[in-house]
Amino acid sequence: MSALITHEPSGLQVDPNLGLVFYANGKQAGLTTADGYPVAMVRGSPSCRLYPLALVVYEAVHGPLSAGMTLRRVNGERCDIRVSNLQAVPKSEVSHDGT
């Protein structure tokens, strides 16, 4: 495992090369939505928030995603959130299924 990077907005720890995300307690983060996207629930004040893990990995390495941009998975696999598989593209270039 490579060195972990903190995603500042969520406090999640990221190994971008392996596409792994961890809570502060060291437990691996991740639930999968009904449409196949990995997310993590982070408790905060005043409530919980769901973070898309692809966005967490991307932002931990590159900083905030620019307005009007979204992430494309290069290989089309929704659950593959390695930073090498994530590409920022204009929202107009992404198919309706988000890949």
Q: What pLDDT shows up at residue 93?
A: 83
Q: What pLDDT shows up at residue 95?
A: 66
Residue 99 lies inside a defined structural domain of this protein: no
CA-wise closest residue to 29 among 47, 46, 61, 4: 4
pLDDT tens digits along 22-43: 999 999 999 999 999 999 999 8
Could you tell me how many helices (H) and strands (E) the chain has, helices first? 1, 8
Tally of residues, the chain: 99
Residue 70 lies inside a defined structural domain of this protein: yes
For residue 63, which amino acid is it?
G
Low-confidence ranges of the chain (pLDDT < 50): none
Residue 57 lies inside a defined structural domain of this protein: yes
Domain count, the chain: 1
Terminal CA-to-CA distance of the chain, rounded, Å?
A: 27
Q: Residue 88 sits in which domain range?
A: 5-93
Residue 98 lies inside a defined structural domain of this protein: no
For residue 27, which amino acid is it?
K
Q: Any idea what the CATH number is for the domain that residue 39 is in? A: 3.90.75.20
